[in-house]
Structure 1
């Protein structure tokens, strides 16, 4: 009888544990969905608003740069804080403060004179808080579900991220003409507050494990020491160092040749319909989803290091196709042609980016020890993203001097020359010779 009661108690405990895990997953995905969709719509609308009202590539690029600067400045700090402090406070607090801040911006805009600098400030503060939110939530995942549920929570989170990138521009383009800017800011503020409320009820210690401290050096508890560890690890590894060089060049190239010139061409020069612009923007994450699905098959046929070399050379030449309609057509092309042609190019670009990003993350996760992985990932991201605001601002200034098609050609030429120099250098040759572990990707 006693054994039966003990067995029944264990079964009840397991059922309760399973219910909590499912609840954690539901709350996690719900909060992330609301927060991401609100931010995706807001980001699209702000960019479109700046292009339509100012007709300035510089204003558009400056706003994009302000989305990137916090990642560069605060990502390593957020990584250390996520390891040291209560993740629930960081996650819930970031969304709560974001919601209250945007509500304050809404009140300022509706009651006082509007100023573009208010938009720039809101972009910077919102993105800064999002950096701490993202890193803390990523670090919290192992505590939300059992180890067997990590694949599920990561894969479903990726789907939500991709869907927000697809549907955000689409929804933003559809309702752009019906809701004013103040309305979009209020919607985003409410989405952050609802997300914070949902995330408050997550059990962040559901699968809490005792973390063993390694080493006896008291500096291991020092904030600066922990911050430096990520940098040291990357630059001591030849393979990681080469990856960083390539990704820095890719980010500069992609932002210089596409992120500013293409929206400027479509919205300021050709003035296409916002709905069509939203569809073109959404084609990129659709390509990323397909690229991620095909990654495993591609990696079974070619090593990652060789794949990245081939993609970089193809991208340097292929990006020139974005400029061909400007040369071929004397006037604005037909709207259906613009929609089909540029959606296809953005779709193919998304596939290429997925084939570079997804395997790189898996390789890093396998090769870097877990106790330093968060800091390595955050430092890598900061180093790579540091060129983004620089490339955006240079691109916007270059557009003032050159026609859009020449900006694209210049970017393609610079990247092609970089590829030739890098892959013929000793670092590049060693990188190509190293075989990535493909079978376990």
Structure 2
């Protein structure tokens, strides 16, 4: 019996990875191609930015409701229904394009639909991972999830650029629909209840359920500390996304090709760190590992300012920033993945959807807020001093929450 469960868990893990890779590639290819299309027909950066808003805001607003639904109804049903909705949305966009052509309004509409339905799919999937693979495979599963995003980040623009340049938009969308349909079939074959602990759910309204989720989180100091660590990492990562491009393009006048290669080095760093965590054994002291990764990440963030203090050659500057972005991205994976594993292991199944719905809302929302804030700060504060300040602030915040989480974790373990 145990052998059968182990085999089904392994099958779930492999299917999960392939499904996530297909959806990640599909969405990245779609986003890249649609961005090029919007810019080509409007020539407006505002139109491009508006599409980003339609991608972010609905997902952030829908995530708390998705968390409630994930805790009230079978997660497999939610995942399959939401993926069916996403696939049908692409098919409807294809039909609309054939009949009326592809318009900006249609793109905004489909982006908002993707974002809303994607929140339900993402939250249900995230909260179901321990039930599909078991808690001892969580590190591997979350690492596989990161690998799929890294592959999407590296391969998506390449595939999207090739499709956009050589085929019609209809063929472009059909390719995406096929990828999502295959992912849907794979998800429908997965066992979402393999390790599920059945508990009787009390009937309560959506508002009461959400209040219970917040109350539960307040009573979980370890999860609360880990959540704050996740929030601050996401917030300050937006500073890196905005600031590194600002420095390379505006201050160092680096060619766009080199900027793209440097950003690609970050995706490679994520991929290698994810592969490392997927093949190694479970971390015996995860919070010590997280703390070391955060310290290194803060050091690398601070080092972004070094070429602005000293006169580096163009070649050395290029190589330096490749190494720095590679290292920052790798350390982010080495901190975020164990944080995710600890949260998954610490939250009971019947609260997991609401907790991950809250995490989804905060994580998605902090990116745009951080981008706007740091975008304004880089216009008024010297970038080299700002990056030193960012590194120090992040270091102090993360050490505070990491040390608090470590004390709680060790107390609970004794």
TM range (shorter): 0.7 to 0.9
Alignment partner for residue 415 of structure 1, among 390, 398, 401?
390
Aligned-partner SS, 2:257: coil
Q: 1:263 to 1:63 in 2, by over 3 A?
A: farther
Q: Say whether the 8 Å CA contact 2:223–2:346 is kept in structure 1.
A: no
Q: TM-score, normalised by structure 2?
A: 0.75
- Partners in 1 of 2:78 and 2:136 — Cα distance? 25
Alignment-derived partner of residue 85 in structure 1: 73
Alignment-derived partner of residue 407 in structure 2: 434
Q: 1:25 to 1:42 in 2, by over 3 A?
A: same
Gaps of 5+ in 1: 1-12
CA deviation map 1:326-373 (0-9, x unaligned)? 9868xxx67x975x5554333112112012212222332343344323
Q: Find out whether 1:168 has 2:156 as its counterpart.
A: yes
Alignment partner for residue 234 of structure 2, among 213, 227, 251?
251
CA deviation map 1:181-232 (0-9, x unaligned)? 5543332223222322343344555x37561237xxx5x5332222223322
Gaps of 5+ in 2: none
Q: Say whether the 8 Å CA contact 1:316–1:416 is kept in structure 2.
A: yes
Q: Say whether the 8 Å CA contact 2:60–2:361 is kept in structure 1.
A: yes
Q: Find out whether 1:348 has 2:327 as its counterpart.
A: yes
Q: 1:231 to 1:148 in 2, by over 3 A?
A: closer
- Partners in 2 of 1:142 and 1:305 — Cα distance? 21
* CA deviation after TM superposition for structure 1 residue 35, in Å: 2.2
Aligned-partner SS, 1:177: helix
Alignment-derived partner of residue 122 in structure 1: 110
Q: 1:186 to 1:325 in 2, by over 3 A?
A: farther
CA deviation map 1:65-112 (0-9, x unaligned)? 544334422222222212222333322221221122123233444554
How many aligned positions are there? 410
Q: Find out whether 1:381 has 2:360 as its counterpart.
A: yes
Q: Find out whether 1:320 has 2:308 as its counterpart.
A: no
Q: TM-score, normalised by structure 1?
A: 0.71
* CA deviation after TM superposition for structure 1 residue 162, in Å: 3.8
Q: Find out whether 1:212 has 2:212 as its counterpart.
A: no
CA RMSD of aligned residues (A): 4.8
Q: 1:110 to 1:97 in 2, by over 3 A?
A: same
